[in-house]
Amino acid sequence: MTIFKYLKRLFNRSEILDKETQMKKFLIVGLGNIGEKYDNTRHNIGFKIVDAFVKEHGGSFETEKLGDIATVKVKGKAVTVLKPNTYMNLSGKAVVYWMKKENIQVENLLIITDDLNIDFGKVRIKGKGSSGGHNGLKDIQDKFNTGAYPRFRFGVGSQYSKGKQVDFVLGKWSDEEESAMIERIPFSVNAVTSFINAGLANTMNEFNGK
């Protein structure tokens, strides 16, 4: 075998191994706003879900560039978990940075956020879609120049009067909502874990609308 053929074979094998490594790496992003005044608001459900996910898998967050980061292992897969500190409207900057830094494929990205158009406590997982008026998703879509990325939307309902949408999503959970929301967190964590282990399609079939 010539050195040229040997190097070509080595390069091809390396390329395959790199692809296999990439497919075992995931980025899970919970959207929200930083700061005490936003704690326990409907808009921060993404933070709550990833906090519970990281705790479930034995990790912890540390503040790094553009957000709080945790790294956990899920059945041999390396999972980076991000809570952007850029505020909701600029979420895309942090997502793009960590995707590039960790060399994450878009199909292994999952964005977790609130949604006014879904009944309270229900979840909807999709592989693509519009921003639906959500500023965090809109900024990510603008940075990606596409809406083709997996997202996990947690329904917060639409019990607000006309013109009060912003006040509603930035408002605190009612006592009744908070109690019900806490009960839905383990379900949401299971859905995120399923996305990593079983893939998007299987997770959609098992968890959507429940």
Question: How many structural domains is the chain composed of?
Answer: 1
pLDDT score recorded for residue 150: 97
Does some domain include residue 5? Answer: no
Does some domain include residue 86? Answer: yes
On whether the CB atoms of residues 121 and 80 are closer than 8 A, the answer is no
Q: Is residue 181 very low, low, confident or very high in pLDDT (cuts 50, 70, 90)?
A: very high
pLDDT score recorded for residue 22: 61
Does some domain include residue 193? Answer: yes
What tens digit of pLDDT does each residue of 54-71 get? 999 999 999 999 999 999
Please state, for a pLDDT cut of 90, what percent of the chain lies above it: 76
Please give the C-alpha separations between residue 166 and each of 23, 42, 43, 171, 198, in angstroms, as whole numbers: 38, 10, 9, 8, 35
Domain that holds residue 169: 25-207
pLDDT score recorded for residue 160: 67
Which of these ranges, 18-22, 83-87, 124-128, 164-168, has the smallest mean pLDDT? Answer: 18-22
Catalytic residue among 43, 48, 83, 153: 43
Measuring CA to CA, which residue among 200, 206, 177 is closest to residue 111? 200
pLDDT score recorded for residue 168: 82
Does some domain include residue 102? Answer: yes
161 pLDDT more than 60: no
Please state, for a pLDDT cut of 70, what percent of the chain lies above it: 86
Residue 15 vs residue 111, higher pLDDT: 111
DSSP letter at 9? H
| Phi then psi dihedrals of residue 61, to 5 deg | -90, 145
Does some domain include residue 3? Answer: no
Q: Which CATH number belongs to the domain containing residue 87 in this structure? A: 3.40.50.1470
Please give the C-alpha separations between residue 72 and each of 64, 76, 77, 95, 108, in angstroms, as whole numbers: 16, 10, 8, 18, 15
What tens digit of pLDDT does each residue of 98-107 get? 999 999 999 9
Does some domain include residue 150? Answer: yes
Q: In 10 A of CB 2, how many CB atoms?
A: 7
**Average pLDDT for residues 168-194, to the nearest whole number?**
93
Does some domain include residue 6? Answer: no
Does some domain include residue 17? Answer: no
Which of these ranges, 14-28, 31-45, 81-95, 100-114, has the smallest mean pLDDT? Answer: 14-28
26 pLDDT more than 80: yes
The answer to whether residue 43 is catalytic is yes
